[in-house]
Chain A
Amino acid sequence: QLQLQESGPGLVKPSETLSLTCTVSGGSISSSSYYWGWIRQPPGKGLEWIGSIYYSGSTYYNPSLKSRVTIFVDTSKNQFSLKLSSVTAADTAVYYCGRQRYDYHSGGYYYLSGVDYWGQGTLVPVSS
């Protein structure tokens, strides 16, 4: 059974960089047809997709966060990681990692689809 687990500092100060790692077990991060993504939920708000990465390093990012986000993969450790720079209180959220399907559209393009496996999530407060 595929399992994902987020890890990282429990608290980040404003203006600093938030760093999280997702460790995948029970399967290979180098699987074809899947990207590996980050999703967050600020307190009292809805889900927000942050970005996703393929094992080759190809990425998609949420345009609203793109200038501050970097996602990278370490296939040797079966891990992928998130860095979010210049954080503010608005970045306080539960951060989830997940496996996201990657499909080919009949219209001639690839697209990201459902997140079928999720980590348990980790709350990252941004506070001084």
Chain B
Amino acid sequence: QSVLTQPPSASGTPGQRVTISCSGSSSNIGSNIVNWYQHLPGTAPKLLIYGTNQRPSGVPDRFSGSKSGTSASLAISGLQSEDEADYYCAAWHDSLKGYVFGTGTKVTVL
């Protein structure tokens, strides 16, 4: 089981702001940067946020990441239908010396 915990689902109407949480520990989120991935069914995951709050080229600024202590968050503002996907947080885990993914959150646009 994952050491990074996310809510299984989140939803909103078009234009709304949706926030996804990712809860970890001092061994992962608390001491390392966080990445976020968007995963649409049948496609490869896409790196959405790196370095906790940086967006790769081409990712809309509607997506933003933050971190406080041992928890991180992904915010989607101005929700759009194409944002309907699974979202995963991930981080380096110091004591495991490995990369861990969160449990994943399915975002539904109502």
5 contacts between A and B (CB under 8 A): A52-B99, A61-B98, A63-B96, A112-B92, A116-B47
Cβ contact within 8 Å between A49 and B99: yes
Partner of A46, one of B47, B98, B104: B104
Nearest to B2 among chain A residues (CB) is A46
Q: Is A56 on the interface with B (CB-CB < 8 A)?
A: no
Cβ contact within 8 Å between B39 and A47: yes
Cβ contact within 8 Å between A63 and B88: no
Centre residue among B2, B96, B98 by max chain A CB count within 10 A: B98
Cβ contact within 8 Å between B37 and A111: no
Q: Is B85 on the interface with A (CB-CB < 8 A)?
A: no
Range for the number of chain A residues in contact with chain B: 20 to 34
Complexed CA–CA distance, A109 and B56 (Å): 24
Nearest to B46 among chain A residues (CB) is A118
Interface residues of A (CB under 8 A from B): 37, 39, 46-49, 51-52, 60-63, 96, 100-101, 103, 105, 107, 109, 111-116, 118-121
With a cutoff of 8 Å between Cβ atoms, the chain A residues found around residue B32 in the complex are 105, 111
Q: Report B24-61 residues with CB < 8 Å from chain A CB.
A: 31-33, 35, 37, 39, 43-47, 50-51, 56
Complexed CA–CA distance, A107 and B12 (Å): 39
Complexed CA–CA distance, A109 and B97 (Å): 11
Which are the 6 A-B pairs with shortest beta-carbon distances? Answer: A118-B44, A111-B92, A114-B50, A46-B104, A114-B35, A47-B101
Q: Report B79-110 residues with CB < 8 Å from chain A CB.
A: 86, 88, 90, 92, 94, 96-104
Cβ contact within 8 Å between B2 and A112: no
Nearest to B32 among chain A residues (CB) is A111
Nearest to B44 among chain A residues (CB) is A118
Centre residue among A63, A103, A114 by max chain B CB count within 10 A: A114
Centre residue among A52, A63, A96, A115 by max chain B CB count within 10 A: A115
With a cutoff of 8 Å between Cβ atoms, the chain B residues found around residue A46 in the complex are 2, 86, 88, 101-104
